[in-house]
Amino acid sequence: MSTTTIPLQLSRKDFVSDQTVRWCPGCGDYSILAQMQKTLPEIGVPKEKIVFISGIGCSSRFPYYMNTYGIHSIHGRAPTLASGLSITNPDLSIWVITGDGDGLSIGGNHFMHVMRRNLNLNIILFNNRVYGLTKGQYSPTSRQGYKSKSSPMGTIEQPINPVAVALASEATFVARSLDAHTNHLGEMLAAAAAHNGVSFIEVYQNCVIFNPDEWGPLEDRRNRDEFIIYLEHGKPMIFGRNQDKGIRLNESFEPEVVTLGDEYGVEDLIVYDVTSKALALMISSMEYPAFPAPMGIIRQVEKPTYTEGLMAQIAAAQAQRGKGDLNKLFRATDFWVVEGHEVEAGVGVVGAVASELDEEYVDQMDEAPVDVSPMQRMLTDTPIAALAPHAPIEVEASTSLAKAVRQMNAHNIGCLLVTDECDRLVGIFTERDVLTRVAGLVEDLAATKISEYMTPDPITMKRDMPIAQALNLMSVHGFRHVPLVDEHNRVEGVISFRDVVHYLKENLG
């Protein structure tokens, strides 16, 4: 991300927050955090213009540990918040911190679209190929056959290649680094910060608890040069501790590892070009351990950002039509004219309706009473008290299911009200509960309390409420019984749908 350089005297300590860092001992996240705090003083942006946004996961703790602005958002949606922030305040240096689970599962759609729009922000994806925060399930990047708590026989899914997805989504800066290679990681972070447009860095990172050996010898600084190829623009693709190996295109135009010597020389190797999308896509297919792991800037091109394009359109529209008027825009289309009424003089807006019409319409509504049936009127005007609510059968929460069922049978009732020692309602137990939750499912009715199967804190009504409201509750929630309580939630009675039917039959003839 390009930002005007400001002479600042900042150090790593300026970006360290007062929060205790809470990752597992040995986690690669510590290294990424340290390199970020070390790199930011060098990009020339004041702390108050730097924002870290994360989703959910181990990596998403990151904003807490940075002494900058930060947002800990919801699962997978960090790119969404970052997009809005980038558009509304283009001067900010915005960093999205995500993981292979957060960014590529529920957040995959947002990840893809923020890339293709080329918004001016940076995305750092921690890839440990496992869900660490939720204790070791396989993730979208887990290798096929990987055994985990959610794939005990080995995952059968093809893994997502984050770099390939970023390239296919037209990201203008794509890079890869390694948590344990601190100097290289710092260089990639600085390069991403300097890029104008979206930048994406995949960071290979071990989960020391659930996937500690994922990157194997790449993490060993003594031998890693044998397994890593560092990409440099304009230079041949050479690797190895002794710089004695390289990558060439074979006769099938596929990458091939060769040893430099009598048969192949440096001139046979691919010269890397960070502006070539075709070359970048080929590199994305080179995955360790079949190939040395490509590290560095995989692609970098300059294209207009989304914000630049959007602001240019706004400026062009304003130059042509002037600054917008929200009220005029709202009334400009999809309106109709009511015949017989003249538009208020001087309004000057297509589709505008005189204010007198609104008042006249309201008056007409008041004058035209709604024709309701005698039954509707009775239900609306008559309080529940007219139903002569039954005195309920009350039991305590400690009552056994066996005793509760006997009570219901003895009194021929469909529900029991469960109360506390102060006669306050705490639950309701109905014949439906007996049929659907108890019968055939509970072995020892005498040893099981009613509190385990009642509906706690049920919906209640007052005696002065209309019958229509009670019917509405019964219809919406599927109730057959509604308890009645006073202002202190003490039981006063219970009504049933059958009570309403009998009342209507007696009073409507």
Per residue of the chain (509 residues), give pLDDT as tens.
555 555 678 999 999 999 999 999 889 999 999 999 999 999 999 999 999 999 999 999 999 999 999 999 999 999 999 999 999 999 999 999 999 999 999 999 999 999 999 999 999 999 999 999 888 999 999 999 999 989 999 999 999 999 999 999 999 999 999 999 999 999 999 999 999 999 999 999 989 999 998 998 998 888 899 999 999 999 999 999 999 999 999 988 899 999 999 899 999 999 999 999 999 999 999 988 889 999 999 999 999 999 999 999 999 989 998 888 888 777 766 666 677 655 454 444 444 445 555 555 556 555 555 566 777 778 888 899 998 888 889 999 999 999 999 999 998 888 999 999 888 999 999 988 898 888 888 889 999 999 999 999 888 999 999 988 888 888 878 888 999 999 889 999 999 888 888 888 888 76
Cα–Cα distance, 256 to 292 (Å, whole number): 11
* Mean pLDDT for all residues in the chain: 89
The dihedrals phi and psi of 377, each to the nearest 5 degrees, come to: -65, -40
The pLDDT of residue 363 is: 60
Cα–Cα distance, 92 to 211 (Å, whole number): 35
Cα–Cα distance, 2 to 193 (Å, whole number): 7
SS3 for 359?
helix
Residue appearing with tokens 């019958």: 467
CATH number of 12-232+272-300: 3.40.50.970
For β-strands 425-430 and 173-178, DSSP reports them as unpaired
SS3 for 156?
coil
H or E segment at 497? Answer: helix 497-508
Helix 374-381 / helix 467-477 crossing angle, nearest 10 deg: 100
Reported as half-sphere exposure (CB side, CA atoms, 13 A), residue 355 has a value of 3
DSSP state of 381: H
The pLDDT of residue 358 is: 55
Reported as half-sphere exposure (CB side, CA atoms, 13 A), residue 260 has a value of 18
* Structure tokens given for 237: 């693709």
Domain extent listing, the chain: 12-232+272-300, 236-271, 328-368, 376-508
Cα–Cα distance, 504 to 375 (Å, whole number): 8
The torsion angle over the Cα atoms of residues 425, 431, 432 and 436, rounded to 10 degrees, is 110
Residue 24 CA to chain centroid, in angstroms?
A: 24
Kindly report, residue by residue over 89-140, the tens digit of the pLDDT: 999 999 999 999 999 999 999 999 999 999 999 999 999 999 998 889 999 9
Could you tell me the CA-to-CA distances from 143 to 161, 282, 327 in Å, in that order?
10, 19, 55
CATH of 376-508, one of 3.40.50.1100, 3.40.50.720, 3.30.9.10, 3.10.580.10: 3.10.580.10
**Residue closest to 150 by CA, chosen among 212, 193, 220, 101:** 101
SS3 for 152?
coil
For β-strands 293-300 and 173-178, DSSP reports them as antiparallel
Residue 226 CA to chain centroid, in angstroms?
A: 40
| Buried-exposed string 48-67: b where 16+ CB fall within 10 A, e elsewhere | eebbbbbbbbbbbbbbbbbb
Q: Are 146 and 138 in contact (CB under 8 A)?
A: yes
Residue 218 CA to chain centroid, in angstroms?
A: 32
Cα–Cα distance, 35 to 334 (Å, whole number): 55
Cα–Cα distance, 199 to 178 (Å, whole number): 16
The dihedrals phi and psi of 396, each to the nearest 5 degrees, come to: -90, 160
The pLDDT of residue 498 is: 87
